Chains A and B, each alone.
Chain A
Amino acid sequence: MWQSLWSQIMDLTLVVVMLRFMTPILLSALGGLISEIAGVINIGLEGLMLISAFTSIAVGSATGSWVLGTLAGVAASVMICYGMGFFSIKLKVDIIIAGFAVNIFGSGFTIFMMSRIYGVSGNYSPSGLNNIPAINIPFIQHIPVLGKLLSGHSLMVWIALISVIFCMLLIYRTPYGVHLRSVGEAPEAAKSLGIPVNRIQYSALAWSGVFAGLAGAYLSMGMTSMFVKDMTAGTGFLALAVVLLGNRNPAGIFFGAIIFGLASAVTTLVQTTPGSPIPSQFIQMIPYVVTIIALVFFAVRKKRRRIVLAQG
């Protein structure tokens, strides 16, 4: 078993699988990050991803275009986010409850639509679907190590990586990003300077919809070629954990997504490796336990710092 695992690390299968698992976590966590920065943390990522996954494969298979499919998925997810904003900002529903509702909605609504449109209840796998393409880089794809490392990944993997840079620019290099952060941290201060707090929060939720939408599209049209009910299976919650551990910073999110992607990749490899001594359940548990430990660590450190301050 160890040997088999080791060989997969050596032949870079682990890295490739890790990138596949990391992509949806990273994308939706970036969405969660922007919402958190603006003080409207979106815990509905799971539901948003499901809605986008379904919408994009439905539109994608109907039109034969993965571009249209992805755009439709993103649009659907953004629309739900505006609804979430309406309820949480306008009707003053707790943002956590609104996110919780989106999660229930995402699960139920996709099953409902699947059954209404395709008359199936468990999964929908259209034939002849044009998936989000993989990018094969000429020349490099034939170089032994580099080829496997860089070439042949889904376009969405690259989009996810570029999104990290995009978010960094958005958050730190644009006035809008500064407004986002000020609205999340000191809404009164922002208001006193004429920054439209509500509008900024709506837009932050919309961003989380965009990224969760991309993640969802990848689930049904990149990672797989089908929609399975509740196919996110906790990815949104993992993303949420990444958001909380990411230190409000896209680089931190990237790092967290790699760790969780790696854990998921190891889980899969161990599960598919016969005779594993470590039960897969415990490997699956790693991200959640890490999250709890990290949360405790941060909280304790904060408490200590306050005590030190008080004494100094």
Chain B
Amino acid sequence: MSILLQMKDIHKVYPNGTAANRGVDLTIHEGEIHALVGENGAGKSTLMKIMFGLEAPTSGTIEYKGAPVTFHGPKDAIRHGMGMVHQHFMLAPSLTVSENIVLGEEPRKGPLSLFRDRNKESQEIEKLIQTYGLKVDPQAKVETIPVGQKQRVEILKVLYKGARLLILDEPTAVLTPQETDELFDSIKALIKQGYTIIFITHKLREVMEISNRVTVLKAGKTIATLLTKDTNPEEISRLMVGREILFRVDKQPSVPQDIVLSIKELCASDDKGAPALCGITLDIRAGEVVGIAGVEGNGQTELVETITGLRKAISGEIRYFNEELIGKSIAQIRAMKIGHVPEDRQTTGSSLTSTIAENLILDHYRNPEFKWGPFQSKKKIKQFTKIMMDVYDVRAQNEDVMAGSLSGGNLQKVVIARELSKNPKLLIASQPTRGVDIGAIEFIHREIIKKRDGGAAVLLVSAELSEVMALSDRIAVVYEGEIVAVLENSSELTEEEIGYYMLGLGIKKQKEEVAAQ
């Protein structure tokens, strides 16, 4: 097999200093299905952007069919015969399937004609559909067809443009198992016709099922490229998640007391209305940290939002000290000494164009102590903010600085300060240290443990498995909206074991065992 694409020692440092790629090597053979795996933040999407000409690498070389190339934009990549199926569909909803496929290269009635040749268009598309078995109604409007078909449209789009190398960015993330099977059939059909496919995913089952070779990225570097038939999920998952210990937290064994939060058979749907949580049952006691581990998008967001009142539950119950939370307003829930560090501090956790003080008083401004007659007491607020900034080590000129001008770590400390200063009996912390510098990480971890030792129940959600392991006393693993395992965190527990559940392998194994019996 000849080498189609080779990327050597790719580095990418963004202007803000983030090093997303720190030495990636990738070799794609013609006619193979090459899986690219890695955790969130491993540098997969940056690499793809570089490959497709959407970003320029800081250093490194790309060779296509043996010749060095520089892509100045997606057009260049398309011209070389590359096509990308984005994770978020790039489709115009009210246009028909057919219009979306030919967009940008519509057949005309003649070389000089101003009109579309719709006969030719439908013939060509019909041919494409027949050849590759990607069944979809060309005349349907894109907004009316299901997700699986939308993806076929995306694939047809790049095929129509003459792509020979297809990059599929987490194509199964939005698909049902049946749709995934159909997608795999199409991919196999494409390979038979001589196409080459790069398949980005973090689902190891799929890697094993479909790929010829697999490249593992971790922290912006290529860790290994393996022949799929010579490896196994355990090895890949160890390569993916195994890492130098980033987090070291000094903590005593927990002393769990009474149940603070008791979730029973909770179900909720995502923003699009699809089921995201089903049958979640979980107890959290005072004085313990329960960590939620799982690949992102497996229901973590919905779980946190449902508990905090931001999302409506479909069924089930959430009891907090024997009081039902479902049906209560966000304001009521916040007033019940429940702290919530939301996963996105920039859009949800803070108002970037407001001052630090305005961000900090969110729970206190109605408090008579902070008022002076009908007015807000500037003095009290200032005092309070000063103390908060001191205690939580927020580094800024003064309390009137815009939150948006703070560094990630300092902004997160503002959020932490607000949510912890209300002395929560239940603290829900979602991605509490994402994108935060080491110093701030340690500080935030210490504060969370302090709250635990002070008798609060803590629910920690993090995409960083090592963080979950460093802080949690118990770990619940979610997969596709269900809790697939609840594990006591002990020194024997390994990342591999948790990773195994996170990737849905635990369920498969159970099913196999059931089948075997």
Residues of A in contact with B (beta carbons under 8 Å apart): 169, 173-176, 178-179, 181-182, 185-186, 188-190, 192-195, 248, 306, 309-312
Contact = CB atoms under 8 A, between A and B. Distances in A.
B273 A186 contact: no
B269 A310 contact: yes
Given A185-B94, A189-B92, A195 B273 contact: no
B91 A195 contact: no
B103 A248 contact: no
Contacts of B33: none
Most buried by B among A174, A175, A182, A311: A175
B479 to A, nearest CB: 23
Contact of B90 (A174, A189, A306): A189
A178 to B, nearest CB: 5
Contact of A311 (B74, B75, B95, B273): B273
A310 B91 CA distance: 22
B115 A174 contact: yes
Nearest to A37: B94
A307 to B, nearest CB: 9
A306 B271 CA distance: 10
Given A194-B74, A311-B273, A186 B114 contact: no
A227 to B, nearest CB: 36
Nearest to B105: A193
Given A193-B104, A309-B273, 19 more contacts: A169-B115, A173-B115, A174-B114, A174-B115, A175-B106, A175-B108, A178-B106, A179-B104, A182-B99, A182-B103, A185-B92, A186-B93, A189-B90, A189-B103, A193-B78, A194-B75, A194-B78, A194-B104, A310-B273
A277 B209 CA distance: 79
Interface of B: 73-75, 78, 86, 90-95, 99-100, 102-106, 108, 114-116, 118, 161, 269, 272-273
A195 B93 contact: no
Contacts of B93: 185-186
A185 B142 CA distance: 12
Given A175-B108, A310-B269, A310-B273, A193 B94 contact: no
A188 B74 CA distance: 12
Nearest to A189: B90
B511 to A, nearest CB: 28
A143 to B, nearest CB: 36
A312 B146 CA distance: 13
A92 to B, nearest CB: 17
B158 to A, nearest CB: 10
A189 B92 CA distance: 7
A178 B86 CA distance: 21
A178 B103 contact: yes
Give the most central of A174, A190, A193, A311: most B CB within 10 Å. Answer: A193
B380 to A, nearest CB: 38
Nearest to B88: A188
A179 B93 CA distance: 13
Contacts of B103: 178-179, 182, 189-190, 193, 195
A288 to B, nearest CB: 27
Nearest to B118: A173
Contacts of A312: 273
3 closest A-B pairs by beta carbon, nearest first, are: A310-B273, A189-B90, A193-B104
A40 B78 CA distance: 28
9 contacts: A173-B115, A178-B103, A182-B99, A185-B95, A192-B90, A193-B78, A194-B73, A194-B78, A311-B273
Given A174-B116, A178-B106, A306-B273, A189 B75 contact: no
Contact of A181 (B74, B86, B92, B114): B92
Given A173-B116, A194-B104, A189 B91 contact: yes
B143 to A, nearest CB: 10
A175 B273 contact: no
A310 B272 CA distance: 7
B74 A186 contact: no
A178 B99 contact: yes
Contact of B95 (A173, A174, A175, A182): A182
A179 B91 CA distance: 12
Contacts of A194: 73-75, 78, 104
B292 to A, nearest CB: 24
Contacts of A182: 92, 95, 99-100, 103
Contacts of B74: 192-194
A173 B118 CA distance: 8
Contacts of A190: 92, 103-104
Contacts of B91: 186, 189
Contact of A175 (B75, B78, B116, B161): B116
Contacts of B115: 169, 173-174
Contacts of B104: 179, 190, 193-195
A22 B212 CA distance: 66
Contacts of B105: 193
Contacts of B95: 178, 181-182, 185
Chain A CB within 10 Å, residue with most, of B74, B92, B99, B116? B92
A182 B90 CA distance: 10
B150 to A, nearest CB: 12
Contacts of A248: 94
A193 B75 CA distance: 7
A185 B94 CA distance: 8
A62 B92 CA distance: 48
A195 B74 CA distance: 11
Contacts of B118: 173
A40 B94 CA distance: 17
Nearest to A311: B273
A253 B464 CA distance: 54
Nearest to B114: A174
B318 to A, nearest CB: 20
A18 to B, nearest CB: 31
Nearest to A188: B90
B208 to A, nearest CB: 31
A185 B143 CA distance: 12
Contacts of B78: 193-194
A193 B269 CA distance: 34
Nearest to A175: B106
Contacts of A181: 92, 94-95, 99
A186 B92 contact: yes
Contacts of B273: 306, 309-312
Contacts of A306: 273
Contacts of B73: 194
A311 B95 CA distance: 26
A248 to B, nearest CB: 7
Which of A174, A176, A186, A195 has the largest number of chain B CB atoms within 10 A? Answer: A186
